[in-house]
């Protein structure tokens, strides 16, 4: 059987929040079978916990934030994306502030942190969400959709009215049973527009943003002197975000996620739609010995443990 995963030992890292600009430390700790992904704020008198779930998402303005007002934790999506990529089912994320640090704006620092903690397989089978029917949500011209697929694929299209965005770099599809999250997605950084910075800052957002943790665009061009990490880094970052948003389910998805101009809000709406259409999916386990699921099981294991997930050292610079 494919087993649930946690980490072997506690690890921590520090950085600043993209939006609040405050220095925070996060500590990742092993968790028990079926515990899920637990965020725990430790900087307040009363320690508060929030379990990752579609309902836990309370704010989707510029990031995905979970929890209630005083126990809020913002910008969880890049860490969630890394947890999804490493197939972590159970983990405790302790944080001494209200926002997960932005690090370099991508998820590779979190992948690196998880690699340091080492993965531990647990004595219980891992549950996957198997998409059986199309589920779609729309907001004007934007849409996000799940379709049945024998693996996990993300197909994303963006469209910004800005000269840097071209048709050839606005769409990417990645099939994660054949392609590596680490090489294809994990290094893609968050991005923002100069024109919006002042407005965002006056609303208490983007205060920790800098050229060290974001790609910044003025009216015509990218202002970071070292350019892009991928030719189509913007859409790849949207895939990174979507994978993190979808992992609020707490389970890996077997299906195809397709999106046009989607973001945190619509990604979350799709999860809520999924929850209310129980006939369109089921929770399954995979077993290499079971002829019905052996093919998926072997391909999943290969993507997790094979070369696709071992490329850390080469790409981390
Ligand atoms: Zn992001």
Task: Give how far the C-alpha of residue 28 lies from the chain's centroid of Cα atoms, to the nearest Å.
Answer: 16
Task: Give the 3-state DSSP-derived string for 132-184, with helices as H, strands as E and coil as C.
Answer: CCCEEEEECCEEEEEECCCCEEEEEECCCCCCCCCHHHCEEEEECCCCCHHHH
**Cβ distance 26 to 222 under 8 Å?**
no
| Residue 307 reports pLDDT greater than 80 | no
Average pLDDT over residues 176-188: 95
Got the DSSP string for 201-234?
HHTT-STT--TTT-EEE-SSSB--TT--SSTTHH
Domain with residue 7: its CATH number is 3.30.230.20
Q: What is the pLDDT of residue 13?
A: 98
Q: How sure is the predictor about 201, in pLDDT bands with cuts at 50, 70 and 90?
A: confident
- Asked if residue 294 has pLDDT above 50, the reply is yes
Whole-model pTM: value is: 0.95
CA of 33 to the centre of ligand 1 (A): 29
| 87: Cα separation from own chain's centroid | 12
> Bigger pLDDT: 297 or 307?
297
In this structure, the answer to whether residues 71 and 144 fall within a common structural domain is: no
Domain of residue 88 covers 3-125
Say yes or no to pLDDT of 84 above 60: yes
What is the rounded distance in angstroms from the CA atom of residue 111 to the CA atom of residue 26?
14
Number of domains in the chain: 2
Residue 233 sits at φ, ψ, to 5 deg, of -60, -35
pLDDT above 70: percentage of residues in the chain: 96
The predicted model gives 294-316 an average pLDDT of: 75
pLDDT tens for residues 123-160?
999 999 999 999 999 999 999 999 999 999 999 999 99
Last residue in a domain, options 72, 94, 125 = 125
> Ligand 1 centre and the CA of 190: distance in Å?
5
Last residue of a domain, one of 71, 101, 125: 125
Q: Are residues 273 and 291 in the same domain?
A: yes
Measured in angstroms, how far is the CA atom of residue 132 from the centroid of ligand 1? 28
């Amino acid at each position: 059987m494919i087993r649930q995963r946690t980490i072997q030992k506690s690890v921590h890292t520090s950085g600043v929040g993209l939006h609040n600009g405050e220095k925070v430390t996060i500590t990742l700790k092993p968790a028990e079978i079926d515990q899920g992904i637990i965020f725990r704020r430790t900087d307040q008198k009363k320690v508060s916990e929030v379990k990752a779930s579609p309902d836990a998402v309370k704010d989707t303005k510029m990031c995905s934030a979970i929890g209630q007002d005083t126990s809020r934790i913002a910008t969880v999506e890049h860490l969630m994306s890394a947890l999804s990529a490493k197939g972590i089912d159970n983990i405790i994320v302790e944080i001494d502030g209200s926002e997960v640090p932005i690090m370099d704006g991508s998820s590779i620092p979190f992948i690196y942190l998880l690699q340091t903690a080492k993965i531990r397989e647990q004595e219980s089978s891992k549950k996957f969400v198997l998409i059986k029917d199309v589920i779609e949500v729309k907001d004007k011209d934007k849409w996000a959709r799940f379709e049945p697929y024998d693996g996990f694929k993300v197909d994303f299209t963006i469209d910004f009215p800005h000269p840097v965005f071209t048709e050839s770099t606005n769409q990417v599809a990645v099939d994660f049973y054949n392609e590596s999250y680490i090489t294809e997605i994990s290094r893609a950084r968050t991005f923002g527009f100069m024109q919006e910075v002042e407005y965002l800052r006056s609303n208490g957002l983007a205060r920790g943003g800098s050229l060290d943790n974001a790609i910044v665009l003025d009216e015509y061009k990218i202002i970071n002197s070292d350019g892009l990490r991928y030719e189509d880094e913007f859409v790849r970052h949207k895939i990174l975000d979507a994978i993190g948003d979808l992992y609020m389910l707490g389970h890996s998805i077997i299906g195809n996620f397709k999106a046009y101009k989607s973001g945190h809000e619509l990604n979350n709406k799709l999860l809520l739609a999924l929850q209310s259409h129980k006939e369109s999916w089921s929770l399954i386990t995979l077993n290499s010995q079971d002829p019905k699921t052996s093919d998926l099981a072997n391909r999943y294991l290969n993507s997790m443990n094979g070369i696709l997930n071992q490329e850390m050292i080469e790409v981390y610079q």
